[in-house]
Structure 1
Amino acid sequence: MVSSTTSAVDPAAPSIFEYFERDGAIWGGYEGDTVTFGKFVGTRTGDSIWVSFVHVLVADGTVVTGDGESDLEFTEDGAIRLVEHYEMHGLPQLSVCEEIAA
């Protein structure tokens, strides 16, 4: 994750997401920064990804659930960028995740 309106992203230790896809189904997990661990599942149609997610916050163990939609883009060097639109705490949010070398 490179940016988020929900929280400040620590560039030295950002949340790391791992995505999988088969036949249009998307699933995976994430952890780091403000999240102890999280899971998501959803679908991809063209350049759009829709997921439902659940994660546990590091600060107080609160469980957070929600839905989000991501626009799939590419960076200038060809890496995948996801621009994620979701709602949290009753407000619209925006996060950006970029692919890192494995």
Structure 2
Amino acid sequence: MISSTNSAVDPDAPSRFRYHERDGVIWGEYWGDTVTFGRFVGTRRAHVLAVTFAHVTVTGGSVVTGASTSTVEEGADGLRLVERFSIEGVDHESVCVEVVPGL
């Protein structure tokens, strides 16, 4: 994750996401920065991902749940996900970039 309106992103230890997909169904996990442990599941249709997520926060250990819609874009830094989500009725946006292992 490189930016989020929900929290400041630690550039040295940002949240990281791992995505899996089979036949348009996606699932994965995420961790780091403000998240101890998170999971998501959803679908992909063309360049749009729709997921439901749940995670435990580092501070306070609260459980946060919600839904998001992400658009896959090609940028100068590779693939990007522009994610729009709502937590407790407040709309947010985050941007994640693809990290290729070994580079």
**Whole-angstrom distance in 2 between the partners of 1:56 and 1:99:** 23
**What amino acid is aligned across from residue 91 of structure 1 in structure 2?**
V
In the alignment, structure 1 residue 69 sits paired with structure 2 residue 44: no
Which residue of structure 2 lines up, in the alignment, with residue 26 of structure 1?
Answer: 26
TM-score by length of 1: 0.96
In the alignment, structure 1 residue 13 sits paired with structure 2 residue 13: yes
Aligned-residue Cα RMSD (Å) equals 0.7
SS in 2 for 1:7: coil
**Whole-angstrom distance in 1 between the partners of 2:88 and 2:43:** 24
**Whole-angstrom distance in 1 between the partners of 2:6 and 2:88:** 9
Structure 1 runs, 4 residues or longer, greater than 2 Å off? none
Give structure 2 stretches of 5+ with no counterpart. Answer: none
Which residue of structure 1 lines up, in the alignment, with residue 53 of structure 2?
Answer: 53
Q: Deviations over 1:17-48 (max 9, x none)?
A: 00011100000000000000100000000010
**Whole-angstrom distance in 1 between the partners of 2:76 and 2:92:** 25
**What amino acid is aligned across from residue 95 of structure 2 in structure 1?**
V
Shift of 1:86: 0.5
**What amino acid is aligned across from residue 75 of structure 1 in structure 2?**
G
Shift of 1:101: 1.5
**What amino acid is aligned across from residue 42 of structure 1 in structure 2?**
G
TM-score by length of 2: 0.95
Which residue of structure 2 lines up, in the alignment, with residue 94 of structure 1?
Answer: 93
Give percent identity, aligned residues only. Answer: 55
Give structure 1 stretches of 5+ with no counterpart. Answer: none
**Whole-angstrom distance in 2 between the partners of 1:76 and 1:99:** 11
